[in-house]
Chain A
Amino acid sequence: MSEKKFSKKHEWVSLDGDVATVGITKHATEMLGDIVFVEVPDAGKAVEKEGQAAVVESTKAASDVYSPISGEITEGNKAIADDPGSVNTDPEGASWFFKLKIKDKGEYDSLMSKDEYDKFCKENPS
């Protein structure tokens, strides 16, 4: 598994061959608060880079989760749909959102490193 890369919309991606795993960052969960609903995409769905791919709702509001990378969904994480609160507990581990078969590794390479992302969060507090 490759190192995690990060998007400005607070998703993370890791790569294993041509299959990417996508989730939302710890920083995102802290901004959202208690997560109470998750909708993940079904296998076979095509997603575009920065296109809407999943939904996450906290007690406060609903937010879209975007795919930082284009490809075809191979699996949505049903476990988090059944237990949305688990996203708060382990957002960058077991509580990934979906896996997809990517088309262009260049999209992955252009995302932020961990250090770049941390700096981005500091400079863009919300």
Chain B
Amino acid sequence: MEVQKTALYNYHKNLGAKFVPFAGYEMPIQYKDGIVKEHISTRTHAGFFDVSHMGQFFLEGDETLIESLEKIIPADLKNLKVNHSKYSFLLNNEGGIIDDLIITRTEKGFCIILNAACKENDIKQISQFLKENHKHLLNNDLSLIALQGPKSVEILEKLIPGVANLKFMTGSNFEYEGENLYVTRSGYTGEDGFEISISNTKVEKLIDYLISNKVKPIGLGARDTLRLEAGLCLYGHDLNEKINPVEANLKWAIAKKRKEVGGFNGWEKIKNLLANGSEKIRVGIKPDGKVIARENTKIFSSDNNEIGFVTSGTFGPSVNAPVAMGYVKSEFSEIGTSIQLEVRGKKYGGKISELPFYKKSYVK
């Protein structure tokens, strides 16, 4: 498959981006300042992220569209108001997570933001449940820009009046440069911020404006440290098709009504897990010292039994310490439990930690 590029590829290049292949795209891993500075400037001012590689999948249809989608998504779509968004997933028959996503109710149906690496398969999976009168489109003419950080609202409000009124996980249509654009108050860094869906032809102009307001470009490297500090999962690492939402400690994302009534893929299995708990569960992990426990690090109990593995681990610049997430046997998941992390053949002490590592500051 040919490597794809987002509409901003040359723009990133001019900003001094270092690129890496990611989910079939050439994406910036970092810019000149490096990951730590990018991370800190997002937390203290604002940063923008080109997330146009993610799928913007639009669905239209009558009432039956909701029934179709609810078979594979355990959110309460019937009661989701127009312009409101939910974090949810696509589930397989075993209750495993095919992808995690943000779904927003639109005037005519829904918009689902899908992970780049999963989007093609996701659409196949969703399509199985769609009816002939349901229209769908993966819109590649749109870019997606995340603007994140405490100054985001002040900066974007000057350009697009009205965005300051949006509450966390809601969105609206706005006009910019004579075109419609859709803005949601959301993101994946633990900061206040927005995701802006904008046509590929106007996106450079938006970025010009952000840069003139000292908003720094942020690459995938800092995106990873930011989301991990915020305790948020990265698909393909912390989540996959063999992991279900109960194990992933994401049962909060299954709507209450859906937990009771079911009617979605893997419901029997998930019902059982909700009642009895799962064997393993996702937890936060803090190494005691400076050692970084990266993905696949084995986790041991204090009496040397193997109890799990790390799925994401890095140095958290705002926490100023290493942070990690992983899966452990549920009996070891209590906050404060002492564990050992095997790094390069040596065992280092650590503790099960609360998530997030860094306190979120969403505007609710």
Q: Which residues of A contact B (CB under 8 A)?
A: 33-34, 36-37, 39, 55, 57-60, 62, 81, 84
Contact = CB atoms under 8 A, between A and B. Distances in A.
A57 B344 CA distance: 12
A59 B291 CA distance: 12
B322 A37 contact: yes
B109 interface: no
Interface residues of B, number: 17
Nearest to A58: B35
A38 to B, nearest CB: 8
B34 interface: yes
Contacts of B322: 36-37
Interface of B: 29-30, 34-37, 221, 225, 290-292, 294, 314-315, 317, 322, 344
A62 B30 CA distance: 17
Contacts of A33: 30, 34-35, 221
B358 to A, nearest CB: 15
A26 to B, nearest CB: 14
B320 to A, nearest CB: 10
A37 B344 CA distance: 13
B344 A55 contact: yes
B48 to A, nearest CB: 19
14 contacts: A33-B30, A34-B34, A34-B36, A34-B37, A36-B315, A37-B291, A37-B315, A37-B322, A58-B35, A59-B225, A59-B314, A62-B292, A62-B294, A62-B344
Contacts of A60: 29, 35, 221
A59 B294 contact: no
A57 B348 CA distance: 16
A59 B18 CA distance: 14
Nearest to B314: A59
